Amino acid sequence: MVDGLALWKQLLQVQEPWVVQACRVDEFNRCMAVWIGVEAPRSWFGLGRPRVAEGGAEATWRHTGFGGWRVQVHVRVPVGSELPRHSWAGEAGMPFTRALDRQILSLLNEGVGMSGVCSILDLPMTDLWRYRYALDHGRHAVGAADAVPMSASPAEAAVPQAPTAFSRVPNLEDPVWVRLLDGSVKLDVRVLGLQLLLSRTRSQVAVIADEEVRMMKLRELHRYFVKNERMLAHELHQLVSEAA
């Protein structure tokens, strides 16, 4: 067991004062559970085995898998302390750790659908919908140090779906997309699907503070134009004129 704890400490990169307290393997469900807590101060002479400080409520998140096995992380936070900001932990009320959060957001940025994300990462759809709802309503921020502002170019962010060689759709870095989202660009929209998408995305962006999540919404709008360029000829003509 001691070797197992040391292995998980290395795999998860758990650092002091946090320690891996316990681990359990469920071979039937191919799931590994890991408990992490804060190491209590040692005695004056530093003797005895490390103890885990008494914690308050236990937080649980789904972590990135290893070799086809699901990983569940349980964190016992000392009373009066805040949740850890490490990749093996997550935000309060969210189902995923920050490491898994990054994987999910990367797939969504690449245009992978919800069912595809669930299939690739072996996630329950209920948890993914809860995560996506929090993103869309500004209730969850990725909070990464490398978050990309909406005005950044695709080279600085995840690479979006590129238009075809003869596409008239403006590049993602064109400021017209930000102006379209904030409502400063007014289009005469004849396609109902675009009307609904614009209305929904504008209302979501208005409450989303996290720049990377806002950039994801921008990519979704750009991707819609790329996929439906022929159908959106009327709207695209106006957009190109605004960009020019």
What is the pLDDT averaged over residues 115-133? Answer: 95
Alpha helices in the chain (DSSP H): 2-12, 98-109, 114-121, 125-136, 176-182, 192-205, 211-227, 233-243
195 Cβ contact partners less than 8 Å away, ≥ 6 residues apart: 189
What is the pLDDT averaged over residues 18-24? Answer: 93
Quote the mean pLDDT of the chain.
84
The answer to whether 123 and 113 are in contact (CB under 8 A) is: no
- In the block, tokens 């530093």 appear at 46
State the Cα–Cα distance between residues 77 and 43, nearest whole angstrom. 21
pLDDT computed for residue 12 by the predictor: 94
CA dihedral angle for residue 216, residue 222, residue 227, residue 229, rounded to 10 degrees:
170
Comparing CA positions, the residue from 180, 129, 130, 128 lying closest to residue 150 is 180
Q: How many CB atoms lie within 10 A of CB 220?
A: 16
218 Cβ contact partners less than 8 Å away, ≥ 6 residues apart: 150, 172, 177, 178, 181
State the Cα–Cα distance between residues 217 and 208, nearest whole angstrom. 10
pLDDT computed for residue 163 by the predictor: 52
Confidence class for position 8, pLDDT limits 50, 70, 90: very high
The answer to whether 46 and 38 are in contact (CB under 8 A) is: no
Sheet with 31-38: strands ordered across: 18-26, 31-38, 69-78, 55-66
The answer to whether 89 and 97 are in contact (CB under 8 A) is: yes
Please report, for the chain, the start and end positions of each structural domain, with discontinuous segments joined by +: 1-89, 154-243
State the Cα–Cα distance between residues 185 and 83, nearest whole angstrom. 42
pLDDT computed for residue 176 by the predictor: 94
Instruction: Read off the pLDDT of residues 154-189 as tens digits, 9 standing for 90 and up.
Output: 333 334 445 555 789 999 999 999 999 999 999 999
Instruction: Read off the pLDDT of residues 28-77 as tens digits, 9 standing for 90 and up.
Output: 999 999 999 987 665 555 555 555 555 568 899 999 998 889 999 999 98
pTM over 0.85: no
